[in-house]
Amino acid sequence: MSASKSDLEGALIDGATEGMTSAQLFDHVRQLYPETTTEKIVRAAFHALSEPTLKDRNVLDVIYALALKHRLDEASRDNPDADTSPMKTLIKKAKSKAAILPLPETTKKRRKKEK
């Protein structure tokens, strides 16, 4: 039986409250629930961030760092050729055909507003 999201969320909050770093926290959850996937841990981490009773900024920062790091790792693993540089993305968009094609001319004349 795999761990539920609430079990993972509790383990994440407990570990972060103890002062673990994001890497230590990930290892801690993996030790407690070795059968769970990284995706489930990331989802539980993002869900833990929405916990209304959780007010400690340091705990939230550690959980957020864990979730974001592993979410980005998953994204780059799914698409290894993707370049995550925002500047290169903008350059690619600027060089696309859509950016250089002229806009179609309209044949309809616009009505003037009657006063």
Q: What is the domain partition of the chain in residue ranges?
A: 5-96
Write down the pLDDT at residue 95.
55
- For the chain, the three-class secondary structure string (H helix, E strand, C coil) is CCCCHHHHHHHHHHHHHCCCCHHHHHHHHHHHCCCCCHHHHHHHHHHHHCCCCCCCHHHHHHHHHHHHHHHHHHHHHHCCCCCCCHHHHHHHHHCCHHHHCCCCCCCCCCCCCCC
pLDDT over threshold 90, residue 30: yes
Arithmetic mean of pLDDT, 13-33:
92
- Whole-number pLDDT of residue 3: 83
pLDDT in tens, 53-84: 888 999 999 999 999 888 877 655 655 555 55
Q: What is the pTM of this model?
A: 0.61
